[in-house]
Amino acid sequence: MKIGFIETIKRVGKNLGATKEEKFRVLAKKTTIPNRRLKDDSSTHKRMPPIEQFRTYTKQILPQMEQSIEISMLQKQFQEIKSEELKQDLIRAYTRRRIKDLANQFSKLDDYKKQEDSMRHHDLPELNVYSFVPIGDHDFEDVGKYTMFPATDIQKYFLNNQMFGEYFEVEFYRTRKFGVMISEEGAKIVNHLQHIQDNKETPLNYINLFKRYPTEKIKEKIIEDEDVYPCLFHDLAKAAIEELEAYRNNTLFERLFCLPSLFDLTINVVLRELGENPNALLPLFLKQQEQIDNPQFTGKKVFNQLFEQIFKQINERAHPEFSNPQQYKQFLEDIQKFQISIKDCTEHEIDLIKYCKEPRWIPRNIKKYSLRKFIGFNSGALLYGDSGSGKSGTLLYVTMWAHYKKWIVLNVPSAFNWTQKEWKFVRHPKTGLYIQNELAQDWMKSFKHANSDLLKQIPVNMDIYGFYNLSGQHDKECDAVPDLYYKDRKVNFEEHKKFLTEEENIIDGETNKDFRVRLKEKLTNPLTVLDIIDYGLENEFFATNALYEVLEQIRNQDKFCVLKVIDGYNFMYKRSIYPSFRYATDTQLRSTVPPYHLTVPRAFLNFDGHKFKNGFVLCASSVKNFHKHIFGPDSIDFPLGYSHEMRGLPLDDFRVMCHYYLQNDFWLADNVAKNSSDFLWMHSQGNWAQAHKVMLGHQLDSM
């Protein structure tokens, strides 16, 4: 008989005739469904009161610890004694005392036997801890189980064992098995990724879609559908990405759309207006489908015309200084309306004020299968929480899912190693960025190792190739290091340049002539993205330039879906250890280079999943090496609705974890009783790191 959390849910759903939504509503609760077999056992075994547990600890555990310490001290003293007679006296004295102690325990042997029998009687039954379903077919019913991978996959996808968190050093090193628990958060994120992939492989046909339902049913049947709404959203987002390119050097747009919040809000408003006024916007989608089906059409499609007009109105009406991407309501009130006028299609005015009350609205059905208060299904998510809460494990599961589903994975195992450990660097004299060619080569080597089969299938788009210089600065982008004015000190960032002599400027220009060359001048006609990577690996001087060219191609290609994964994301916003006198003016940086001026972290730190045509960004914080071990999205002004706090495992999932670790000798204990695992869960609150600390000493189950 299969026993456990998931099987209980299946049994409950079957008996009650529950729908899929009702099953998941029960499954998603962070509570425990009592296991029937465990419930029967608990009727004969009462939980030991805390005072009794303390008494048992002092009588059994402490003597063993004292004996261990005593033996280690005797061994040390034994080695220091040179006289053989004194050594023999020491051995005889210790033997007499141990015999006396053992004699006092004979009277209590019966009690020990009863306790041992009781513990053995209440061992947990064998749980079904493994999911035998292929990772690409996992469903919410597999939550709480472990999915196993070949150990060779570690070397295949993680060069030099560079994995998230401490998985390789702690878990795999001891068990030699590559298993990952399917967490609730991981299953929900994968559900969003599956929508992205499904829309790419099987695009919607708008003509057939809107023929199914009458006009008055569009809002109910289409806009609020958990499968159709994300597909419509992704199609509009692709057109918006293309039209944003025209504003790449616009400082206002750089501030407004660097995060996905206002980008997603704009598309969300268009879709909600489709539900409210389908007669006005329906022709847009039908005309778009006609243009897609016509292979001879080469002009700008309807969706592109739509966002061309929307972005033009935003540029005219948004306040150039006070517009804030976090203030959704203020943004809508400033713009007030979108005037849409597309020839031979539609003319309509979208009133934005009516959407101010609920700017972060998403369909109710999407909320059921998503993280709590999460709206970033099209762009990305930030996982945060205590150390050991399962953040890195979720990253690992989602990453393996992406690899098995043939996604390109941009993997950053540790942002801490990028900003808090020193790599060779040199400052670019024109842009002011600090070039890290050695680190760029290190990442590209790992990236190629894990994705080479896909990268050689992506042709280079020459229309977007060659616009980056050696430091990763794009020709159409705003200045990477602007000359900021510090009001408190009444100086500019580039104040030191005023004190350079003419001779120093000449010497500086002559010394840095080499920085004027570009990758495109050396690699004029690469065929695939892999060619750019290979050139960067062979020529360290162009490594950073190659890295940025590769990322530009990956963002704009439509052949494969892309997942960007970063662990320790909070260290992208913490000052680095690289010293520089140029930042002495900034009181927060304290003469250190910020990560956004280091070329490699700068390429990854943006939360820019909305700028990938078929992409998603998944980040996780790391507080083990962080000040006071506390971090929250508010610390970096992260947008609301795109983060999720990880907490401990539910009790039933925790029991599965205990069994998995015991079966694979990660934790060494003879018997794990029900009261032991439950007490461990209460002690750790389902936190993996805290439970591991306890179990390493084998203290809990020796009681």
CB 375 within 8 A of CB 642: yes
From the number of C-beta atoms within 10 Å of its C-beta (0-12, 13-18, 19+), residue 423 rates as middle
Q: Is 623 annotated as a binding residue?
A: yes
The residue with tokens 């749980």 is 127
**Longest distance between any two alpha carbons in the chain, whole Å:** 109
Check the annotation: does 367 bind a ligand: no
Q: What angle do CA 145, 200, 341 make, to 5 degrees?
A: 130
Q: What is the three-class DSSP state of 557?
A: coil
User: Tokens 């990758």, residue?
Assistant: 519
DSSP 481: S
195 Cβ neighbours under 8 A, 6+ residues apart: 227, 230, 231, 234, 377
Q: What's the Cα-to-Cα distance from 545 to each of 117, 230, 516, rounded to whole Å?
A: 68, 35, 12
**Two structure tokens written together for 577:** 């250890």
Say whether 550 counts as a known binding-site residue: no
Residue 228 CA to residue 670 CA, distance in Å, equals 52
If we measure between CA atoms, which residue out of 546, 562, 550 comes closest to residue 460? 550
* Alpha carbon distance 554, 551 (integer Å): 5
Residue 391 assigned as binding residue? yes
Quick one: which of 133, 619, 158, 176 has its CA closest to 403?
A: 158
Answer yes or no: is 656 a known binding residue: no
- The secondary structure of 180-223 as a DSSP string is EE--HHHHHHHHHHHHHHHHHHS---HHHHHHSS-GGGHIIIII
Q: What distance in Å separates the CA atoms of residue 703 and residue 698, rounded to the nearest whole number?
A: 9
Q: How far apart are CA 115 and CA 129, in angstroms?
A: 28
- Give which of 665, 664, 663, 666 is closest to 688, Cα–Cα: 666
Query: What is the DSSP code string of 619-634?
Result: EE---TTSGGG---GG
Please state at what angle helix 651-663 crosses helix 674-684, rounded to 10 degrees: 110
Does 688 show up as a binding residue in the annotation? yes
Query: What sign does the dihedral 602-603-604-605 (CA atoms) show?
Result: positive
Report how far residue 46's alpha carbon sits from residue 81's, in angstroms, rounded to the nearest whole number. Answer: 52
| Per-position b or e across 126-163, b if 16+ CB within 10 A of its CB | ebbbebeeebeebebbbbbbbbebeeeebeebbbeebb
The phi-psi region of residue 344 (left if phi > 0; otherwise alpha if psi is between -120 and 50; otherwise beta) is: left
| Of 42, 56, 48, 41, nearest in space to 699 by CA | 56
Asked if 375 and 360 count as a contact pair (C-beta separation under 8 A), the reply is: yes
**Which ranges constitute the DSSP H helices of 106-183?**
109-121, 152-157, 173-175
The reply to whether 398 sits in an annotated binding site is no
Q: Three-class SS of residue 501?
A: coil
**Per-residue CA distances from 624 to 190, 417, 571, 693 (Å):** 26, 13, 11, 15
Check if the beta carbon of residue 603 is closer than 8 Å to that of residue 543: no
Own/partner contacts of 240-245, CB < 8 Å, gap of 24 or more, are: 240/266, 240/267, 240/307, 240/311, 241/610, 241/611, 241/612, 241/613, 242/304, 243/304, 243/307, 243/308, 243/311, 244/307, 244/311, 244/611
Euclidean distance between CA atoms 327 and 639, whole angstroms: 10
Q: Is 329 annotated as a binding residue?
A: no
The two structure tokens encoding residue 210: 């809107």
Give binding residues as ranges. Answer: 181, 388, 390-392, 567, 623, 688
Give binding residues for Mg(2+) as ranges. Answer: 392, 567
Give binding residues for ATP as ranges. Answer: 181, 388, 390-392, 623, 688
